[in-house]
Amino acid sequence: MRIACVLGLLLCLLCSGMALAEQPAYEYMGLNIDMNFEELQKRHPNTPYQKTAETHSSYFWISAADAKNGIYAINLQEGKGYWPKNRAGVTPQLVDFKWLKLSFEKPDALLKTKPKTWEDSHYFRLPECVPILTSLIKRYGDPVATNSGWEEQIEWTTYGWESGVETMNLACERLQGKGISLAMELTLSKPK
């Protein structure tokens, strides 16, 4: 009886350790890197899709009828990319790659108020970064990499996660280095 209890306990510990070691595939609002063009079409039936065979790319704005989860454009693409992306001390290699970019930028047609200034065009189009970042941290833990920089008047920060075979990067911006941080896009990627 005692041996059975000990074996049962060891089996539970082994199984829980195995479950912890397996990093789940990243996803956001039910979208993930393993989706194909046809699956995206089924999820957004009112959106006109265009697929470019030469670049193995499909980039499209989500129709107003389908834009219910804060994602307004999707880019599913295959090509060359650098892997690994977020691992310190490792030189990324150029490999065949697949990525899914989810844009949080609202198109003009969905804006309730037309922007009058350059700043308004960002604040009206993009959601706050913190709620999205917080939800990703709750689900996947702290980012393994954070990169920041400036481009003209925009301070950008990219938060990166890596599961070993897949990366997820959230790109956010702050105008002139102050104010609210805004979410621009979330990119899921992996080598093919």
Amino acid at 116: K
pLDDT beneath 50: ranges in the chain: 1-24
**Predicted local distance difference test score (pLDDT) of residue 169:** 95
Bridge pairing between strands 93-103 and 145-151 = unpaired
pTM metric for this prediction = 0.78
- Among 39, 35, 112, CA closest to 78: 35
- Evaluate the CA torsion angle 98, 28, 70, 47 in order and state its sign: positive
Instruction: State the alpha helices, DSSP H only, in the chain.
Output: 2-21, 37-43, 118-125, 129-140
Cα–Cα distance for residue pair 67/125, rounded to 1 Å: 13
Please enumerate, as own/partner, the contacts of 107-111 that have beta carbons within 8 Å and a separation of 24 or more: 107/61, 107/72, 107/73, 109/64, 110/64, 110/67, 110/72
**Predicted local distance difference test score (pLDDT) of residue 51:** 64
Cα–Cα distance for residue pair 87/95, rounded to 1 Å: 16
